[in-house]
Amino acid sequence: MDARVFLTLIVFGLTVTPLKAESKSPPVHETEQRAREVLHEWSEECLSFTGVQGEILRIDYDDVFQQQKHSVGTFGYLGPQYGFFRYNPAPNQPDPDSLKKAPDGSPYEYKEGFSEEWRWQKSWIRSIDHREKKYEEFRIIKRPQTESEPKWYDFGRYFSEMDNMAPVLPGVPNQANFDEFISDSYLQVIRENDTHIWIAGKPKNRRYAALFNEFKLHLEKRPWRLRAVQYIHPSGQQSTVYLFSNVEFNPLEWEEPDLNGYQNLNDQPIVARYPENAERQSFQKKAGSQQSGSGSLMDWIFHLLF
């Protein structure tokens, strides 16, 4: 099958509500039960996978400005704090006929994709700009867990682990996190045929609801394989689709990029709680002294925390 046709089918399944079947649709509780059965079977098939690496096509939609961006890259996961995403603008512009359509039928405006790299390196998170040869790094400072659920704006805790930014990956490398995420989400089968199934969900946990209010999964059957996932942002006006290919399970450790000659823009801690008692003021003072004026997403997150 032509790659452009295959891409259109995947995106169609994720972004367009399927036509109603001639027969009466099954009750909601049956579609939810079917979704949970499928995801449980998929998880069980992947019990031997603890890591994953592969290629990724990222498609970003902005329904406000009616724009669409394509980025291509690679990803890897060997643990909650050991993984990466790297993106570059897609080398070729898509066919205008394959772009999402506005209500008046005109295609969305195509914009150049992202050029960025995010790496979780155990005790560090690094955002790397290879074009400008500069990077930002953030130390992960762990604090004791609390019994209460974190507040919706507690982004520091969320961002410290790759799983929170990408709870669904091919091969389900973090079984415990995936099972918790699925059990704490509303689910429904929105489309199914002999070879594929599309499942929609809404997270109940505020940890995820702060980042996206809905997600859609596209899985291939026999064996179960995740082909694509879509996250719809809280505004409902933007969404991102990730299409996976050339996936390798249980990969060897990769080499980290050589940053010699790159400018380090800042060095900030990522935390989810203030330290207890007497530590608080000294820690706050230390953290404040490390802030920079780069104006990045992580700077904004840092100010929310402090």
The pLDDT tens digits of the residues spanning 129-165 come to 999 999 998 887 766 655 555 444 455 566 788 998 8
In the numeric block, which tokens belong to residue 295?
């104006």
8 A C-beta contact, residue 73 and residue 54: no
pLDDT of residue 6: 43
Distance CA(294)–CA(200), nearest Å, equals: 37
8 A C-beta contact, residue 220 and residue 205: no
For residues 272 and 234, which has the higher predicted lDDT (pLDDT)? Answer: 234
Q: Which residue has the tokens 């969305």?
A: 108
The pLDDT tens digits of the residues spanning 34-90 come to 999 999 999 999 999 999 999 999 999 999 999 999 999 999 999 999 999 999 999
pLDDT of residue 272: 45
Say yes or no to pLDDT of 15 above 60. Answer: no
Domains of the chain, by residue range, sit at 3-18+25-305
Share of the chain above pLDDT 90, in %: 64
In the numeric block, which tokens belong to residue 55?
């290629």
pLDDT of residue 159: 74
Mean pLDDT, the chain, integer: 81
Name the architecture of domain 3-18+25-305. Clam (2.50)
Say yes or no to pLDDT of 281 above 70. Answer: no
Kindly indicate the confidence band of residue 107, based on its pLDDT and cuts at 50, 70 and 90: very high
Q: What is the pTM of this model?
A: 0.78
Kindly indicate the confidence band of residue 210, based on its pLDDT and cuts at 50, 70 and 90: confident
Distance CA(229)–CA(172), nearest Å, equals: 13
Kindly indicate the confidence band of residue 22, based on its pLDDT and cuts at 50, 70 and 90: very low
pLDDT of residue 262: 94
Say yes or no to pLDDT of 93 above 80. Answer: yes
Kindly indicate the confidence band of residue 209, based on its pLDDT and cuts at 50, 70 and 90: confident
Q: Pairing state of beta strands 109-112 and 67-79?
A: parallel
Say yes or no to pLDDT of 206 above 70. Answer: yes
pLDDT, average across residues 251-266: 92
Kindly indicate the confidence band of residue 189, based on its pLDDT and cuts at 50, 70 and 90: very high
pLDDT of residue 268: 59
pLDDT, average across residues 106-125: 94
pLDDT of residue 235: 92
8 A C-beta contact, residue 236 and residue 250: no
Going by the DSSP 8-state scheme, the letter that residue 94 receives in this structure is P
Distance CA(82)–CA(76), nearest Å, equals: 8
Rounded to a whole number, what is the largest CA-CA distance in the chain? 67
Q: Is the peptide bond before 223 cis (omega within 30 degrees of 0)?
A: yes
Distance CA(86)–CA(73), nearest Å, equals: 5
Say yes or no to pLDDT of 13 above 60. Answer: no
Q: Which residue has the tokens 């050339």?
A: 246
CA atoms within 13 A on the CB side of 51: 14
pLDDT of residue 17: 42
8 A C-beta contact, residue 212 and residue 234: yes
pLDDT of residue 298: 43
Distance CA(58)–CA(56), nearest Å, equals: 6
Say yes or no to pLDDT of 92 above 50. Answer: yes
